[in-house]
Structure 1
Amino acid sequence: MRNFDSLGLELAQFQGEIFEKSISRYECSSLVFLRRFKNSSYASYLDSSRFNTLIDVEYAFSEIDKQYGKSAYGNQKYSADALYWLGYIYRYISYTREISTKKAFNLISPKELVEHYYVYHTQSEEWVISRILEIKGKNEDFFDKNLRIKEILKKSYQTY
């Protein structure tokens, strides 16, 4: 687990801003935008250690647009505050647990997470993560990249 340092904070705030401003930038629903973001090469770029500057929100949008084009599909939009928090919490999870954006989204979908917004957004990030894991019947092992290897090794030692 990585400490949530100044870079992590900057990334979480930046991603929160991207999500928040998606309301005015895109005609599509919030869920369509979030799905595109999750699968975008820009999200992968934020996950990596290759980045050296965040540029700005418009640059992020232009990169997502290059990959997916425009869409007006869907019309349900989440509030700006909820979207900011979603962006922030997903990046917090991704950064501190050193997992991809996709894996963070796979832990809890945006639709599920936004349902918890009014209760969760006033709590600490670690509290939110522990509640999500509890609801999903998972523990911190969910974030362990080597868990599958550990389970195989454990089974192979048990057979001897």
Structure 2
Amino acid sequence: MKNFTLEKMQLCDIQGRLFELALKKGYDCPSFIEAFMNSRVAACLDDVYDRMQWAGEEYMLEELGDEVNGLKKAGTIFDNEVMYWTGYCYRYWHYYTNESSKRIYTIADAKTMNDCWQGFHTLDVEMAIENLKEIYAQKQAMNI
């Protein structure tokens, strides 16, 4: 990807690790993903520059918990690999398309990411994103 800097790669990795940490802490995976992707924390990561981008995953998780008045424990659990890939892919997606985290989540929610992981995690990230966007477009066309 054009202009894919080391800092952007690091933020993709941090977001992947953040999603893994949520799993490790026992949070409901779909609820965590929805809360994060619609949060101020994710919006800060979407900015060109924000102090949150220098924070680690532990701090981000704490900030998110404060923002949403606590994260839901237990419930649906995804595999560790699914969580990392989802977090990484979402952040990469933002850099690839400049879409907001909220918009990205509208296109590919937690269930979609979990369902598609098996077939998409070995693809180039940009190809996986294009496939996810195509699935969304097909769903939208069927709902018309």
* TM-score range normalised by the length of the shorter chain: 0.7 to 0.9
Aligned residues of 1:42 and 1:64 also touching (Cα < 8 A)? yes
**Distance change in 2, residues 1:61/1:71 (3 Å):** closer
1:42 deviates by: 0.7
1:39 deviates by: 1.7
Any runs of at least 4 consecutive aligned residues in structure 1 with deviations exceeding 4 A, and if so which?
none
1:72 deviates by: 3.7
Q: What residue is the counterpart of 1:40 in the other structure? A: 39
CA distance in 1: counterparts of 2:55 and 2:73, whole angstroms:
28
Moved more, 71-80 or 12-21: 71-80
Q: Which runs of 5+ in 2 are unaligned?
A: 139-144
1:125-144 equivalence runs, <5 A:
125-137=125-137
1:1-160 equivalence runs, <5 A:
3-25=3-25, 27-52=26-51, 53-72=53-72, 75-137=75-137
Aligned residues of 1:12 and 1:88 also touching (Cα < 8 A)? yes
Per-residue displacement from partner, 1:12-54 (whole Å, max 9, x unpaired)? 11100000110122x4310111111112111010000232542
CA distance in 2: counterparts of 1:2 and 1:93, whole angstroms:
13
CA distance in 1: counterparts of 2:137 and 2:35, whole angstroms:
27
Moved more, 13-22 or 125-134: 125-134
CA distance in 2: counterparts of 1:134 and 1:103, whole angstroms:
15
| TM-score w.r.t. length of structure 1 | 0.77
1:73 deviates by: 5.3
1:135 deviates by: 2.0
Q: What residue is the counterpart of 1:143 in the other structure? A: none
Q: Whose Rg is larger? A: 1
**Distance change in 2, residues 1:99/1:2 (3 Å):** farther
CA distance in 1: counterparts of 2:71 and 2:42, whole angstroms:
19
| TM-score w.r.t. length of structure 2 | 0.85
1:71 deviates by: 3.9
Aligned residues of 1:2 and 1:95 also touching (Cα < 8 A)? no
1:129 deviates by: 1.7
CA distance in 2: counterparts of 1:131 and 1:55, whole angstroms:
31
